[in-house]
Amino acid sequence: MIGAREFNKKIGSLKNTGQMTRTMKMVSASKFKRAYKNQSNARAYAQRIKGLMARLSSSVSATAHPLMKSRPAAQKALVVLFTSDKGLCAGFNNDLIRYVRHWAKDNTYKYPHIGFSFCGRRGWMSLRKSVAVEKHYEGLTVKPDLAGSQGVAADITGLFKEGKYDEVYLACNRFHGPLSQEPMIERILPLTVPKQEGQKPLARGDYLYEPRQEEIFALLVPKYLGFKIYYAFLENAAGEHGARMTAMDNASRNTGDLIDRYTLLRNRARQAAITTELIEIISGAEALK
Protein backbone atom coordinates (compact mmCIF):
# COMPACT_ATOMS: atom_id res chain seq x y z
CA MET A 1 0.00 0.00 0.00
CA ILE A 2 1.29 3.46 -0.83
CA GLY A 3 2.22 5.41 2.27
CA ALA A 4 1.76 9.04 3.22
CA ARG A 5 5.33 9.88 2.14
CA GLU A 6 4.74 8.70 -1.43
CA PHE A 7 1.49 10.68 -1.59
CA ASN A 8 3.32 13.79 -0.38
CA LYS A 9 5.79 13.41 -3.27
CA LYS A 10 2.95 13.09 -5.77
CA ILE A 11 1.15 16.12 -4.33
CA GLY A 12 4.35 18.19 -4.40
CA SER A 13 4.95 17.27 -8.04
CA LEU A 14 1.35 18.13 -8.96
CA LYS A 15 1.64 21.50 -7.24
CA ASN A 16 4.71 22.30 -9.34
CA THR A 17 2.86 21.22 -12.48
CA GLY A 18 -0.14 23.34 -11.54
CA GLN A 19 2.06 26.39 -11.00
CA MET A 20 3.62 25.88 -14.44
CA THR A 21 0.26 25.45 -16.22
CA ARG A 22 -1.19 28.54 -14.54
CA THR A 23 1.84 30.56 -15.61
CA MET A 24 1.56 29.29 -19.18
CA LYS A 25 -2.13 30.16 -19.18
CA MET A 26 -1.41 33.76 -18.16
CA VAL A 27 1.32 34.09 -20.80
CA SER A 28 -0.97 32.67 -23.49
CA ALA A 29 -3.81 34.96 -22.37
CA SER A 30 -1.55 37.99 -22.81
CA LYS A 31 -0.40 36.85 -26.26
CA PHE A 32 -3.94 35.94 -27.26
CA LYS A 33 -5.16 39.44 -26.45
CA ARG A 34 -2.65 40.99 -28.87
CA ALA A 35 -3.21 38.34 -31.55
CA TYR A 36 -6.99 38.71 -31.34
CA LYS A 37 -6.72 42.49 -31.66
CA ASN A 38 -4.55 42.14 -34.78
CA GLN A 39 -6.91 39.57 -36.27
CA SER A 40 -9.96 41.78 -35.61
CA ASN A 41 -8.30 44.81 -37.23
CA ALA A 42 -7.31 42.71 -40.25
CA ARG A 43 -10.89 41.45 -40.59
CA ALA A 44 -12.11 45.02 -41.07
CA TYR A 45 -9.46 45.61 -43.74
CA ALA A 46 -10.44 42.34 -45.42
CA GLN A 47 -14.01 43.55 -45.84
CA ARG A 48 -12.80 46.77 -47.48
CA ILE A 49 -10.44 45.11 -49.93
CA LYS A 50 -13.08 42.52 -50.84
CA GLY A 51 -15.52 45.31 -51.57
CA LEU A 52 -13.02 47.07 -53.80
CA MET A 53 -12.24 43.85 -55.68
CA ALA A 54 -15.96 43.19 -56.17
CA ARG A 55 -16.56 46.70 -57.55
CA LEU A 56 -13.61 46.54 -59.94
CA SER A 57 -14.55 43.08 -61.20
CA SER A 58 -17.86 44.44 -62.46
CA SER A 59 -16.02 46.59 -65.00
CA VAL A 60 -12.80 44.60 -65.58
CA SER A 61 -12.41 41.16 -67.09
CA ALA A 62 -11.17 39.02 -64.21
CA THR A 63 -9.58 36.44 -66.50
CA ALA A 64 -7.28 39.11 -67.92
CA HIS A 65 -4.95 38.74 -64.93
CA PRO A 66 -2.60 35.70 -65.04
CA LEU A 67 -3.29 34.84 -61.38
CA MET A 68 -7.00 34.45 -62.11
CA LYS A 69 -6.83 32.22 -65.18
CA SER A 70 -8.08 28.70 -64.54
CA ARG A 71 -6.21 25.85 -66.19
CA PRO A 72 -8.09 22.98 -67.78
CA ALA A 73 -7.37 19.50 -66.44
CA ALA A 74 -5.40 20.70 -63.41
CA GLN A 75 -3.21 17.85 -62.18
CA LYS A 76 -0.68 19.48 -59.83
CA ALA A 77 -1.73 21.13 -56.58
CA LEU A 78 0.23 22.87 -53.84
CA VAL A 79 -1.05 23.02 -50.25
CA VAL A 80 0.30 25.76 -47.98
CA LEU A 81 -0.21 24.46 -44.44
CA PHE A 82 -0.30 26.80 -41.42
CA THR A 83 0.42 25.32 -37.98
CA SER A 84 2.18 26.48 -34.83
CA ASP A 85 5.86 26.08 -33.99
CA LYS A 86 5.18 24.92 -30.43
CA GLY A 87 2.86 22.36 -28.90
CA LEU A 88 0.76 22.21 -25.71
CA CYS A 89 -2.28 23.64 -27.53
CA ALA A 90 -4.59 20.59 -27.40
CA GLY A 91 -5.84 19.45 -30.83
CA PHE A 92 -5.13 22.74 -32.61
CA ASN A 93 -2.42 21.23 -34.83
CA ASN A 94 -3.41 17.56 -34.81
CA ASP A 95 -6.98 18.17 -35.95
CA LEU A 96 -5.79 20.28 -38.89
CA ILE A 97 -3.06 17.82 -39.89
CA ARG A 98 -5.57 14.95 -39.80
CA TYR A 99 -7.99 17.01 -41.90
CA VAL A 100 -5.30 17.75 -44.49
CA ARG A 101 -4.28 14.08 -44.67
CA HIS A 102 -7.87 13.08 -45.44
CA TRP A 103 -8.20 15.86 -48.00
CA ALA A 104 -5.03 14.77 -49.81
CA LYS A 105 -6.16 11.14 -49.80
CA ASP A 106 -9.62 12.02 -51.12
CA ASN A 107 -8.18 14.20 -53.93
CA THR A 108 -5.48 11.83 -55.16
CA TYR A 109 -7.61 10.92 -58.17
CA LYS A 110 -7.90 14.60 -59.12
CA TYR A 111 -4.29 15.65 -58.49
CA PRO A 112 -1.68 12.99 -59.27
CA HIS A 113 0.92 15.28 -57.67
CA ILE A 114 0.26 17.21 -54.44
CA GLY A 115 3.09 19.28 -52.97
CA PHE A 116 3.25 20.95 -49.57
CA SER A 117 4.74 24.16 -48.23
CA PHE A 118 4.79 24.56 -44.46
CA CYS A 119 4.37 27.64 -42.31
CA GLY A 120 4.91 26.27 -38.82
CA ARG A 121 7.17 23.55 -37.45
CA ARG A 122 4.47 21.18 -36.21
CA GLY A 123 3.00 20.52 -39.63
CA TRP A 124 6.42 20.09 -41.18
CA MET A 125 7.53 17.61 -38.48
CA SER A 126 4.36 15.54 -38.94
CA LEU A 127 4.24 15.36 -42.75
CA ARG A 128 7.77 15.88 -44.03
CA LYS A 129 8.46 12.14 -44.48
CA SER A 130 5.14 11.25 -46.12
CA VAL A 131 4.52 14.09 -48.63
CA ALA A 132 6.41 16.04 -51.30
CA VAL A 133 7.85 19.09 -49.52
CA GLU A 134 8.19 22.24 -51.60
CA LYS A 135 9.40 24.61 -48.86
CA HIS A 136 9.40 25.09 -45.11
CA TYR A 137 9.14 28.66 -43.82
CA GLU A 138 10.75 28.87 -40.38
CA GLY A 139 9.95 31.43 -37.73
CA LEU A 140 7.11 33.18 -39.54
CA THR A 141 4.28 32.01 -37.30
CA VAL A 142 5.79 33.32 -34.05
CA LYS A 143 5.28 37.00 -34.92
CA PRO A 144 3.28 37.31 -38.17
CA ASP A 145 4.21 40.31 -40.28
CA LEU A 146 3.26 41.57 -43.71
CA ALA A 147 6.80 41.28 -45.10
CA GLY A 148 6.98 37.54 -44.40
CA SER A 149 3.50 37.04 -45.84
CA GLN A 150 4.46 38.86 -49.03
CA GLY A 151 7.48 36.56 -49.33
CA VAL A 152 5.28 33.47 -49.11
CA ALA A 153 2.86 34.99 -51.62
CA ALA A 154 5.72 35.78 -54.02
CA ASP A 155 6.99 32.19 -53.84
CA ILE A 156 3.64 30.54 -54.57
CA THR A 157 2.89 33.11 -57.28
CA GLY A 158 6.17 32.24 -58.99
CA LEU A 159 5.42 28.51 -58.82
CA PHE A 160 1.95 29.09 -60.27
CA LYS A 161 3.18 31.30 -63.12
CA GLU A 162 5.97 28.85 -63.99
CA GLY A 163 3.39 26.10 -64.35
CA LYS A 164 4.88 23.89 -61.65
CA TYR A 165 1.47 23.85 -59.96
CA ASP A 166 -1.94 24.33 -61.51
CA GLU A 167 -3.77 25.18 -58.29
CA VAL A 168 -2.70 26.39 -54.84
CA TYR A 169 -4.64 25.72 -51.64
CA LEU A 170 -4.37 27.31 -48.22
CA ALA A 171 -4.90 25.05 -45.18
CA CYS A 172 -5.29 26.60 -41.74
CA ASN A 173 -7.55 26.82 -38.71
CA ARG A 174 -10.37 29.31 -39.13
CA PHE A 175 -10.62 31.28 -35.89
CA HIS A 176 -14.07 31.51 -34.32
CA GLY A 177 -12.96 32.13 -30.74
CA PRO A 178 -10.55 30.84 -28.07
CA LEU A 179 -12.70 27.71 -27.68
CA SER A 180 -13.40 27.09 -31.36
CA GLN A 181 -11.03 26.70 -34.31
CA GLU A 182 -12.25 25.01 -37.48
CA PRO A 183 -9.85 23.27 -39.93
CA MET A 184 -10.39 24.50 -43.47
CA ILE A 185 -8.83 24.28 -46.93
CA GLU A 186 -9.41 27.09 -49.42
CA ARG A 187 -8.21 27.49 -53.00
CA ILE A 188 -6.28 30.74 -53.41
CA LEU A 189 -4.84 30.25 -56.92
CA PRO A 190 -6.24 30.81 -59.39
CA LEU A 191 -7.89 33.66 -57.52
CA THR A 192 -11.64 34.08 -57.65
CA VAL A 193 -13.34 37.45 -57.41
CA PRO A 194 -15.00 37.82 -53.99
CA LYS A 195 -18.71 38.55 -53.94
CA GLN A 196 -20.40 40.75 -51.40
CA GLU A 197 -23.79 39.57 -50.25
CA GLY A 198 -26.62 41.78 -51.33
CA GLN A 199 -24.48 43.88 -53.66
CA LYS A 200 -25.75 44.41 -57.18
CA PRO A 201 -23.36 44.59 -60.16
CA LEU A 202 -22.23 48.15 -60.81
CA ALA A 203 -22.31 49.81 -64.18
CA ARG A 204 -19.03 50.94 -65.69
CA GLY A 205 -19.85 54.63 -65.28
CA ASP A 206 -20.70 54.46 -61.56
CA TYR A 207 -17.13 55.37 -60.54
CA LEU A 208 -14.32 57.53 -61.90
CA TYR A 209 -10.90 55.90 -61.56
CA GLU A 210 -7.39 57.32 -61.83
CA PRO A 211 -5.48 55.43 -63.11
CA ARG A 212 -7.69 53.13 -65.20
CA GLN A 213 -9.61 50.24 -63.67
CA GLU A 214 -7.37 47.69 -65.41
CA GLU A 215 -4.23 49.17 -63.87
CA ILE A 216 -5.75 49.30 -60.40
CA PHE A 217 -7.00 45.74 -60.72
CA ALA A 218 -3.57 44.48 -61.86
CA LEU A 219 -1.99 46.17 -58.83
CA LEU A 220 -4.68 44.98 -56.41
CA VAL A 221 -4.67 41.26 -57.27
CA PRO A 222 -1.17 40.42 -55.89
CA LYS A 223 -1.82 42.63 -52.86
CA TYR A 224 -5.07 40.79 -52.23
CA LEU A 225 -3.26 37.44 -52.42
CA GLY A 226 -0.56 38.65 -50.04
CA PHE A 227 -3.19 39.85 -47.60
CA LYS A 228 -4.97 36.47 -47.67
CA ILE A 229 -1.68 34.85 -46.64
CA TYR A 230 -1.17 37.46 -43.91
CA TYR A 231 -4.71 36.98 -42.62
CA ALA A 232 -4.10 33.22 -42.42
CA PHE A 233 -1.01 33.92 -40.29
CA LEU A 234 -3.07 36.12 -37.96
CA GLU A 235 -5.87 33.55 -37.63
CA ASN A 236 -3.28 30.87 -36.96
CA ALA A 237 -1.65 32.95 -34.20
CA ALA A 238 -4.96 33.84 -32.54
CA GLY A 239 -6.15 30.24 -32.69
CA GLU A 240 -2.86 28.89 -31.32
CA HIS A 241 -2.79 31.16 -28.27
CA GLY A 242 -6.50 30.68 -27.66
CA ALA A 243 -6.18 26.89 -27.83
CA ARG A 244 -3.11 26.88 -25.56
CA MET A 245 -4.83 29.17 -23.05
CA THR A 246 -7.83 26.82 -22.95
CA ALA A 247 -5.63 23.71 -22.72
CA MET A 248 -3.60 25.14 -19.82
CA ASP A 249 -6.80 26.15 -18.02
CA ASN A 250 -8.10 22.58 -18.32
CA ALA A 251 -4.73 21.23 -17.19
CA SER A 252 -4.77 23.50 -14.13
CA ARG A 253 -8.26 22.31 -13.17
CA ASN A 254 -7.28 18.66 -13.66
CA THR A 255 -4.18 19.20 -11.52
CA GLY A 256 -6.31 20.67 -8.75
CA ASP A 257 -8.67 17.69 -8.91
CA LEU A 258 -5.75 15.26 -8.65
CA ILE A 259 -4.29 17.16 -5.70
CA ASP A 260 -7.62 16.92 -3.88
CA ARG A 261 -7.85 13.22 -4.67
CA TYR A 262 -4.31 12.42 -3.52
CA THR A 263 -4.76 14.55 -0.40
CA LEU A 264 -7.78 12.47 0.56
CA LEU A 265 -5.88 9.23 -0.12
CA ARG A 266 -2.90 10.51 1.88
CA ASN A 267 -5.11 11.31 4.84
CA ARG A 268 -6.65 7.86 4.64
CA ALA A 269 -3.20 6.25 4.50
CA ARG A 270 -2.05 8.35 7.47
CA GLN A 271 -5.15 7.41 9.45
CA ALA A 272 -4.63 3.76 8.60
CA ALA A 273 -1.03 3.96 9.80
CA ILE A 274 -2.13 5.59 13.08
CA THR A 275 -4.81 2.96 13.58
CA THR A 276 -2.28 0.18 12.98
CA GLU A 277 0.10 1.66 15.54
CA LEU A 278 -2.69 1.95 18.11
CA ILE A 279 -3.69 -1.66 17.55
CA GLU A 280 -0.07 -2.77 18.03
CA ILE A 281 0.24 -0.76 21.25
CA ILE A 282 -3.00 -2.10 22.64
CA SER A 283 -2.09 -5.64 21.62
CA GLY A 284 1.31 -5.33 23.31
CA ALA A 285 -0.27 -3.97 26.50
CA GLU A 286 -2.76 -6.83 26.55
CA ALA A 287 0.04 -9.34 26.09
CA LEU A 288 1.90 -8.00 29.15
CA LYS A 289 -1.08 -8.52 31.44
| Structural domain boundaries in the chain | 4-24+247-288, 41-243
Q: What are the two backbone dihedrals, phi and then psi, of residue 81, each rounded to the nearest 5 degrees?
A: -100, 130
Global pTM value: 0.84
Question: Residue 281 pLDDT > 60, yes or no?
Answer: yes
Average pLDDT over residues 265-278: 86
> Residues 100-108: what's their mean pLDDT?
94
Name residues whose C-beta falls within 8 Å of residue 240's C-beta, 6 or more positions apart in sequence: 35, 84, 86, 89, 92, 141
Q: Model confidence over 196-224: pLDDT tens digits?
A: 555 555 454 456 777 777 788 888 888 88
Percent of the chain with pLDDT over 70: 92
Task: Give the whole-angstrom CA distance, residue 220 versus residue 146.
Answer: 15
Q: Does domain 4-24+247-288 have CATH number 2.40.160.10?
A: no
Is residue 273 predicted with pLDDT exceeding 90? no
DSSP string, 92-118: HHHHHHHHHHHHHHHTTTT-SEEEEEE
Residue of 143, 147, 145, 167 whose CA lies nearest to 156: 167
Average pLDDT over residues 219-241: 91
Q: Tell how far CA 173 is from the center of its chain.
A: 5
CA distance 81 to 127: 10
Q: DSSP secondary-structure letter at 62?
A: G
The overall average pLDDT reported for the chain is: 87
Model confidence at 42: pLDDT above 60? yes
Of the candidates 217, 225, 232, the residue with the CA atom closest to the CA atom of residue 184: 232
- CATH 3.40.1380.10 for domain 41-243, yes or no, is yes
Digit-coded pLDDT (tens) for 126-183: 999 999 999 999 989 988 888 899 999 999 999 999 999 999 999 999 998 888 889 9
- Quote the pLDDT of residue 280: 82
CB count within 10 Å of CB 223 equals: 13
